[in-house]
Amino acid sequence: MARTRRPMIAGNWKMNGLRADALALAKGVADGVKQAGWRDREVLVCPPATLVMAVADAVKGSGVLVGGEDCHAEASGAHTGDISAEMLRDAGAGHVIVGHSERRTDHGETDAVVRAKAEAAWRAGLLPIVCIGETLAEREAGKTLGVLEAQLRGSVPSGATAAKLVVAYEPVWAIGTGKTPTTAEVAAAHAHIRKVLGGLVSDAAAVRLLYGGSVKGSNAAELLAAGDVDGALVGGASLKADEFLAIAKAA
């Protein structure tokens, strides 16, 4: 079954990138991916909404996939400043990250909101990457697996299948800190996630589970080799083409 899970290396650019730098970055990634000619892994970049269209154009024909960083649950309407899944699709995206911990914290997004956004992604024909992860306090209190289970149950819409869902495990305390869980801790979290998905998704064994949090070229091979890890969701290190490509190579 593991062979059916094609590794995905996804870059989350967050609120970074003006056109000149971003297009150079997109082109650098596209050139590297084209040159490598990988058929056994997927490389996805998720730029800020302002750049989705330009990045989608810049990577055309390279095999690099493009996604949004967030979407609203509604298709359109009076939601000033928001972007719908349909708009992302129209701009050239095929994927969208939902429920990133920065959205959950900065914008008070609950599991129910994240679930509605994942459903919106389906409605628009996008593949949602649903993010979950415990805080440091939760980990230290021994609550990690329970937190992940509750977030999954609340955030994954019913009707999910491996073709319609990617899950990213991102411990909040590992994001942007240079700290990472041990491979045993990552494997334990991912095994639990897959077990919980067993009750939510008909083909849970085929769902791709990404690890995110301080992934870089130098630790990617180790983290990606942990049990039940099918790729990475990369923040800071996705802003440099060489570093991001090194992670993709390690997959």
Q: In 3-state terms, what secondary structure has residue 216? A: coil
Catalytic position from the list 134, 170, 192, 243: 170
Per CB under 6 A, 159 contacts ligand 13P: no
Asked if 213 contacts 174 with a C-beta cutoff of 8 angstroms, the reply is: yes
Using CB under 6 A, which of 41, 100, 103, 117 touches ligand 13P? 100
Per CB under 6 A, 235 contacts ligand 13P: yes
Per CB under 6 A, 9 contacts ligand 13P: no
**Measured distance CA(205)–CA(36) in Å, rounded:** 28
Using CB under 6 A, which of 109, 111, 170, 243 touches ligand 13P? 170
With CA atoms as reference, report the closest residue to 153 among 123, 121, 111: 111
119 an active-site residue?
no
95 an active-site residue?
no
Contacting range for ligand 13P; rule: CB under 6 A; set: 60-68, 109-117, 168-176, 198-206: 168-176
Per CB under 6 A, 214 contacts ligand 13P: yes
**Measured distance CA(68)–CA(71) in Å, rounded:** 7
**Measured distance CA(173)–CA(86) in Å, rounded:** 32
Q: How many residues bind ligand 13P (CB under 6 A)?
A: 14
Per CB under 6 A, 86 contacts ligand 13P: no
**Measured distance CA(174)–CA(144) in Å, rounded:** 13
**Measured distance CA(161)–CA(157) in Å, rounded:** 10
Catalytic position from the list 72, 95, 100, 192: 100
Asked if 33 contacts 43 with a C-beta cutoff of 8 angstroms, the reply is: yes
Per CB under 6 A, 215 contacts ligand 13P: yes
Using CB under 6 A, which of 175, 196, 220, 245 touches ligand 13P? 175
Provide the 8-state DSSP code for 162. G
Query: Using CB under 6 A as the criterion, which residues of the chain lie in contact with ligand 13P when the complex forms?
Result: 12, 100, 170, 175-176, 212-215, 233-237
**Enzyme catalytic residues:** 100, 170
